[in-house]
Amino acid sequence: MKKKVLIVNRAQYGYHVDPYKYCEYLKDKFNITHIGWDYGLQKVQSEGITVKYISRQGNKIARYYRFLKEVNKEIRTNEYDVIFMIYFAASSLIRLLNQGKTFNIDIRTAADTKNRVRNYLKDLLLKVECTAFKNITIVSESLAESLALKNYHFLPLGGECFYSGVKSYSKLHLLYVGTLENRNLIECIKGFHAYLKNVREKDKIETLFTIIGDSPGTELHEINEYIGRNNLSEVIRTLGYIHNYRLHRFFEEANIGVSFVPMTKYYDNQPPTKTYEYLLSGLPVIATKTKENSKILTNGDCGVLIDDNAGSFAAGLKKIAVNREIFNSEQIRNSYRENLWSNIVLNKLKPYLDKLSNNNIPSVHKEISSIYENTVCN
């Protein structure tokens, strides 16, 4: 009989790539249930996955209380072998209310706002909450080091191969996929524009930039304004948010990936998902030289590392254009094959879950549990 695993995640099912891939590649090995908020987005259907939604009606306090209460109820009314929680504030409370259950807390990111004090406080809370968990998975070893975590299971990012054909580089078609929030992508747009203005006539080739993504802020509006103001609509197109399962044709059309995150402390230890997806689809990458991107792009035959400003982006694009004949899409793809989501989940996550499900050892913290019992359960 297959073991039962509950994945707890505040994101709506299908809209946070990592747990979505966990579900997809574990569903034949475990009975998987995913519980998370309902943001009112289009429901993603996955055969073999039980998906449960929690309403976000009401103010922030009311809906957060409802989330904790419904998750706690789900755990108490069903016999799960492992409860796998994607970290959120107060996740330790759920852990402390359910003694004798096997939990894992999964850390995908540290705090990444522009407010240093807020980041410090959020990371401090994360570190404190981790003390309630015996079992921890984390996305990068450098992130674990920055959070001073000692005992953890390294569960790296993966990527999908969206295109397996041979790429031509007679033209350049850049692709950015991801959130625009706090990414300062306008620097890429300005850098792209600068490259087009400064490239010599004899070196000119057809060049296009496709941007897929959105944000709660004004970033997309700012980008579109710049495009309109500088008459760039023929060479830069913005398509807004497109779900992961609909990206294949864009990876087929493009031949250069853009993995641009600001070079800040809070992004330095965060490996970008799309870096792997570009490489696994045979696209050389223009990537900002964060610590994690620098670990990934160790081979100059797979792309270039740049600073997080327009001038460096223009220089990186020029280097790609001049050296485009050295790129081999199949060679790039094969160099990163071990980072396919299927390999990450089946070779790193599944054995770990097997081990947890066979070792249901109760943890301590019973004295803390009693404090919260009446608060959340009733």
| CATH number, domain with residue 190 | 3.40.50.2000
Q: Would you say residue 368 has pLDDT above 70?
A: no
Order the strands of the 136-138 sheet from edge to edge. Answer: 49-54, 31-37, 4-8, 82-86, 103-107, 136-138, 153-154
What is the reported pLDDT for 50?
97
**Do residues 115 and 179 both lie within one domain?**
no
Residue 300: the pLDDT is 79
* Structural Rg of the chain based on CA atoms: 22
Q: Which residue has the tokens 């015996």?
A: 134
Give me the pLDDT at residue 360, please. Answer: 61
Contact between 136 and 104 (Cβ < 8 Å): yes
Distance of alpha carbon 21 from alpha carbon 48, whole angstroms: 13
Nearest 5°: phi and psi at 237?
A: -125, 135
Give yes or no: residues 198 and 293 share one domain: yes
Comparing C-alpha atoms, which of 283, 183, 189 is closest to residue 232?
189
For residue 338, the model assigns a pLDDT of 94
Q: What is the pLDDT of residues 162-195, one digit of tens each?
A: 999 999 999 999 999 999 998 999 999 999 999 9
pLDDT above 90 for 315 = yes
Task: Tell whether 150 and 181 lie within a shared domain.
Answer: no
Percent of the chain with pLDDT over 70: 95
pLDDT band at residue 359, thresholds of 50, 70 and 90?
Answer: confident
**Mean pLDDT calculated for residue range 120-145:** 94
Instruction: Give the pair of three-digit tokens for residue 317.
Output: 């694009």
Strand partners, 303: 285
Residue 164 resides in a domain: no
Identify whether residues 181 and 73 lie together within a single domain. no
Question: Which pLDDT value is given to residue 110?
Answer: 86
Q: Which of 129, 127, 157, 352 is nearest to 269 (CA)?
A: 157
Cα 220 from Cα 213, distance rounded (Å) = 8
Q: What is the pLDDT of residue 363?
A: 40
What is the band of 245 on the pLDDT scale with cuts at 50, 70, 90? Answer: confident
* pLDDT at residue 366, rounded to an integer: 38
Q: Three-state SS for 140? A: coil
Contact 260, 288 (CB under 8 A): yes
Quick check: 365 pLDDT over 80?
no
215: in domain: yes
In this structure, the chain runs to a length of: 378
Residue ranges making up the domain that contains 365: 4-158+341-377
267 and 345, same domain (yes or no): no
Residue with tokens 């998902």: 273
Percent of the chain whose predicted confidence (pLDDT) is above 90: 84
In a domain, 143, yes or no: yes
Distance in angstroms (rounded) separating the CA atoms of residues 156 and 153: 9
Average pLDDT of the residues in 150-166 = 94
Q: What three-state secondary structure class fits 186?
A: helix
SS3 291: helix
Over residues 131-135, the mean pLDDT reads 96
Of the chain, the end-to-end C-alpha distance in Å amounts to 33
Considering the domain architecture, whether residues 120 and 239 belong to the same structural domain is answered as no
- 371 or 279, higher pLDDT: 279
- Considering the chain, what is the average pLDDT of its residues? 92
**Residues 199-206: what's their mean pLDDT?**
89
**Mean pLDDT confidence for 7-12:** 97
More confident residue, 372 or 243: 243
Instruction: Indicate if 204 and 123 belong to the same structural domain.
Output: no
Q: Number of structural domains, the chain?
A: 2
Do 328 and 352 belong together in one domain? no
Per mean pLDDT, which range of 121-130, 259-268, 353-362 is the poorest?
Answer: 353-362
Residues 246/212, Cβ–Cβ less than 8 Å: no
Residue in the block written with tokens 């299908």: 14
Residues 109 and 139 placed together within one structural domain of the fold: yes
> How far apart are alpha carbons 19 and 268 in whole angstroms?
22
- pLDDT level of residue 369 (50, 70, 90 thresholds): very low
